Amino acid sequence: MKFFNREKEIKKILSILGEEPDDIYFIYGPINSGKTALINEVINKLDEKYVVFYINLRRYFISKYEDFIEVLFEEYEEDKDPIELVKSLVKDSSVLFGIPVPKNVLEVLLTKKEERNVFRYITNILLELKKEGKKPIIILDELQKIGDLKINGFLIYELFNYFISLTKELHLSYVFCLSSDSLFIEKVYSEAMLNGRAKYLLVDDFDKETALKFMDFLAKEILGKELSTEEKELIYSYVGGKPKDIVYVIKSLKTDDLEEILDYLLSDAKQKLKYFLEDVKEENETLYKEILDALKVFKNSYEVEDITINKKVRELLVKKNILFLDPIKGTLKPQSFLVWRAIRVML
């Protein structure tokens, strides 16, 4: 399927890549809003002077430092000098899914178990690429997965310090970190060490106008026909501008009735919310009542100020992907229109 929209975000990222690296960029947004699709579309638009190291942590189970190191690197059997190995790989592809490393070198890095050795290796690779006239880009998708890992303190802080040195000090590589965990982004945003060294790019669900155009685009691509205004309005009233949900609805129209599709999605959202509330009530009646009171603020509003809901309840609802917190704007809203509709129906 062809990529749709996001011209504003693409233009912003390409503008960043046209300047000297100077900040860490955090790309955040609600679940399934299209962050990974966006960054992949940007990668597709880059010319050969850029070398992308794209590391998607979502694909791996990471419970300890060694797991992260093995994900960070792409191991090769070739008995080559590390720099020559990277140069040979870059000739064939401008996107590498990990930092290339000969097997024997990776074994040494894992044995010594010191992050400075790992960072020194990566820096040497980046410096050599820069000498070749290349512009390195490091992309870490779902960075929050290593938020609690420890190695001489929390690994995430050592990683941030290293990224600061790559961007703010050496201007050696662009760094983009993607996350759909808004509690993690809140923690990052409040981190003093990143003040003046990080910027944030929100990739939100589509607004209504864009969502309706997306439906037109998908209907033509998938169904080979147009949807009526009434059908599009009905779809939007259930799923809003969530790209993944819109895609699901349009694809399902090949075989199913629209109202049945929407009823199924709403029923699914309601059941998940019901079981969550049931579990909370069983464990803590007081917290259950606090959560109900918190959810009631969304009966007439889709978005509210974050401090409208107390911190304990707010964090639980965000952690359970019921609400999305935007710490930069200071707002809370349901993770999707479906969740919003389920809240209003159930309350």
Q: What is the pLDDT of residue 347?
A: 85
What value does the mean pLDDT of the chain take? 90
pLDDT in tens, 89-100: 877 777 888 888
Question: Strand (E) positions, 12-129?
Answer: 24-28, 50-56, 73-76, 95-96, 99-102
Burial class (CB in 10 A: 0-12, 13-18, 19+), 74: middle
pLDDT at 2 (0 to 100): 61
**Residues 246, 235: contact at Cβ < 8 Å?**
yes
More confident residue, 347 or 147: 347
- In this predicted structure, the answer to whether residue 80 has a pLDDT above a threshold of 80 is no
Distance CA 211, CA 242 (A): 8
**Quick one: angle between helices 229-239 and 258-283, nearest 10?**
10
Higher pLDDT among residues 152 and 122, named by residue: 122
Cβ–Cβ < 8 Å for 54, 80:
no
Q: What is the pLDDT of residues 16-46, one digit of tens each?
A: 999 999 999 999 999 999 999 999 999 999 9
Instruction: For 246-264, write each residue's pLDDT tens digit.
Output: 999 999 999 999 999 999 9
In this structure, the dihedral spanned by the alpha carbons of residues 173, 27, 196 and 138, taken in order and rounded to 10 degrees, is -10
Position of tokens 């790209």? Answer: 243
Residue with tokens 């599009």: 232
Quickly count helices (H) and strands (E) in the chain.
15, 11
Q: Which helix (H) or strand (E) holds 138?
A: strand 135-141
SS3 for 287-299 is HHHHHHHHHHCCC
Q: 323: helix, coil or strand? A: strand
- What does the alpha-carbon distance between residue 68 and residue 26 come to, in Å, rounded to a whole number? 19
Q: What average pLDDT does the segment 109-120 reach?
A: 74
Tokens standing for residue 168: 């703010």
Least confident window among 109-113, 137-141, 280-284:
109-113
Strand pairing category for 174-179 and 24-28: parallel
For residue 343, pLDDT over 90 is answered with yes
In the structure encoding, which two tokens stand for residue 208, read together?
Answer: 């209504």
pLDDT value of residue 32: 92
Which pLDDT value is given to residue 105? 79
- Residue 202 sits at φ, ψ, to 5 deg, of -85, 130
46: tokens are: 């880059």
pLDDT surpasses 60 at 295: yes
pLDDT, average across residues 82-95: 78
Reported as a pLDDT band with limits 50, 70 and 90, residue 112 is low
Least confident of 109-123, 286-300, 329-343: 109-123
This prediction has a pTM of: 0.91
Report the range of poorest mean pLDDT among 45-54, 114-123, 212-221, 313-322: 114-123
pLDDT of residue 1: 55
d(CA 10, CA 331): 24
Confidence of residue 150 (pLDDT cuts 50, 70, 90): low
- The answer, yes or no, to whether residue 151 has pLDDT greater than 60, is no
DSSP symbol at 57? G
